[in-house]
Amino acid sequence: MTKKRKLTVIVTSAVVGVVVIACAAELLVALHNKKHKASVSSNEVTWTYTTNFLEGGDKTGTTGAVMSAGIEKDIDDNLEGLTASEEEATYYGYHNLGIASVDNHLNIRETPSGDGKLVGKMSNGDACEIYEITDDGWAHIKSGKIEGYASTDFLLTGPMALAKANEIITPIATTTGEGVRVREAPNTECSVITQLPKGEELKVLEELDNGWVKLDLDDEEAYISSDYVEVEPKLTTAISMTELLYGQGVSNVRVDICQYAKQFIGNPYVWGGTSLTKGADCSGFVMSVYAHYGISLPHYSGSQAQCGRTVSLSAVKPGDLIFYTRGGRINHVAIYIGNGQVCHASSPKTGIKVSSMYYRTPYKAVNIIGD
């Protein structure tokens, strides 16, 4: 049986109203491949469409106020014969899509309360599945592997979420084999920058006609053969804040450093910066994190690599530094946080984030702590 949901949107002007109607109607029609009804009377725009959006009954959302009236627009609706499979339609892989709309990050909590245990963070633009919304403004969501509750004050839903997703959706290249080579140019004659394990994901800048894919590798251009990747549009998701499994023999200061570094996930990358909140580059991020624990480091990844004691990559511990190279020169540094992951200031596009330690081939590891 068809389930109908109604969304009411109040827009800020007649011009904006037309744009909102056009964009939302186009998205809904494209995603459902059916006609949907939009009507405007005075200052309200109302869409009625069939989907299991926000289970539990009709949901209404409003924003802004209209400055003019008398707009009338009807888009014929004919939803007869909707099949069960069509009713389960998804939007970029989500049935009930939500998009974080924040300056830096949106906290995901274990319970629907500001005092609930923090279990994850969604950066601006991260996507989630919305299971339900409580009367007091909390959304029960799942983003990536993280399930919990987030405030609806910072969560776009319905056509607003779809419109935002359509704006920010990013093509991602996922490697399909082990040891996939990333090169400096789109040919096999040039130097190899790094090798990637199976399942590694990188942002696509362009798919070239000659069988190569241009990638964003820490804000530098790189290339990979299209034979060894699958490219598809994806939305980013939340990062877990669950305590990591550090293993035996890991000092408390190492645990503290990793947890401290993770507090700044989602904050911006700024070249030459050292602020953990307003923006830092890769070495500035590392320098400021360790300065919090009384460890002084220079502000340059190549110089940081000369500090401390070099350790085997197979023996790396949480709190150690991982260095990466391009063209034989160290050009990036990250903090190893356990479970094969690093925390680093990646690029202006992605900011401070968590990646696989092997998202690029590590050049060396250094014990800065000295234990």
Q: Which active-site residues does the annotation give? A: 282, 332, 344
Q: How far apart are CA 285 and CA 268, in angstroms?
A: 10
280 to each of 12, 241, 297, 321, 324, how far by Cα in Å?
A: 37, 21, 14, 16, 18
| b (16+ CB within 10 A) / e for 267-287 | bbbbeebbebeebbbbbbbbb
Q: Pick from 327, 77, 42: which is nearest to 192 by CA?
A: 327
Q: Pick from 61, 38, 33, 44: which is nearest to 158 by CA?
A: 61
SS3 180: strand
Residues ≥6 apart with Cβ < 8 Å to 209: none
Task: Tell me the sheet residues that pair with 97.
Answer: 129
SS3 16: helix
How is residue 329 written in tokens? 């020169």
Contact yes or no for 357/366 (Cβ under 8 A): no
How is residue 300 written in tokens? 């340059």
Q: Pick from 96, 97, 3: which is nearest to 49 by CA?
A: 3
Q: How far apart are CA 37 and CA 285, in angstroms?
A: 50
Q: If residue 122 lies in a helix (H) or strand (E), which one and from where to where? A: strand 118-123
Residue 295's region, left for phi above 0, alpha for psi from -120 to 50, else beta, is beta
| b (16+ CB within 10 A) / e for 41-75 | eebbbebbbbbebbeeeebeeeeeebeeeebeeee
